[in-house]
Amino acid sequence: MSTTTFELTQGEAACGVDLEDVHALRARALVIDGGGAVVLPADLAPALTGAAARLALGGAVVFSGFNQFGQPVYRREETAR
């Protein structure tokens, strides 16, 4: 069994995001595209959704836009090769 450590960024912490909220939101997230993207509930703070997206996808993410229901979609950040 592997474990990972998740930490909030300084910006997320400054916006009032806490780990309890991130974990609760992660449980409501929908991971799509074979684990390459995540859809989160609408009308939440970007700092919170960004943190939950990083937790759901296990690393750096970028905001991809909103789906047809107004829900934010984040994708894995592509690394330069």
In this prediction, residue 79 carries a pLDDT of 64
Residue 67 confidence class, pLDDT cut points 50, 70, 90: very high
Alpha-carbon gap, residue 71 to 46, rounded angstroms = 11
Q: Has this prediction a pTM greater than 0.75?
A: yes
Q: Which class for 7: exposed (0-12), middle (13-18), buried (19 or more C-beta within 10 A)?
A: exposed
Please compute the mean of the pLDDT values over residues 52-77 and round it to a whole number: 96
